[in-house]
Amino acid sequence: MNGALLQLYRHKTWAALRLIEYCKGLDDEHLDATMPGTYGTIRETLRHLVGADERYYSILTRERFPTKAAAAAYVYPDPLPDAPVSLDVLAERVRNLSAGWEALAADADLPEREVTTTDGLRVPAAVAMAQAIHHADDHRTHIMSILGARDLDVPEPNGLDMWGYAEANDQMKEL
């Protein structure tokens, strides 16, 4: 199981960095575009994706909150500013989390541990671990939808899926 989880976390990092790199080549008109059914603009969605990833990581690595009041009073260290953030800064933050996600995937006991959220909820760590992967996939899809709606090419070859990740990392071989 941990091997599959490690692949998912590595893919999450790879896909985020690849999408951010692709978006660096876009004009502001595209970065500030959105469409119904998505989170927001491409720029806002990338910022949200990275900030949420940092918060999910925090849930999994910090001490549990003893009370709802302690959870509500928690202040995340080094949060992203409310203002727009450069794509280079977002990419650096994704890279900074990479080794941490891989370490979490290697911790066989983590999924069964209880963690707490700033909403004052207790949940098995496996839920937060899976949510981090799902959330990133969901918002990358939002961005890909905006790009497609604007008739822009999407990152190639193979987009941002697991097959593309495996190919890019020399994990696919001919018979």
Architecture of domain 2-168: Up-down Bundle (1.20)
What global pTM score does this model have? 0.94
Name residues of the chain where pLDDT drops below 70: 1, 157-158
Give the tokens for residue 19. Answer: 């999408």
Task: Tell me what pLDDT residue 1 has.
Answer: 53
Task: Tell me what pLDDT residue 79 has.
Answer: 94
CA 164 to CA 162: how far, in whole Å? 5
Task: Tell me what pLDDT residue 157 has.
Answer: 60
CA 157 to CA 155: how far, in whole Å? 7
Task: Tell me what pLDDT residue 161 has.
Answer: 92
Task: Tell me what pLDDT residue 12 has.
Answer: 98
CA 125 to CA 173: how far, in whole Å? 35
Q: List the one residue out of 43, 60, 39 whose CA is nearest residue 133.
A: 60
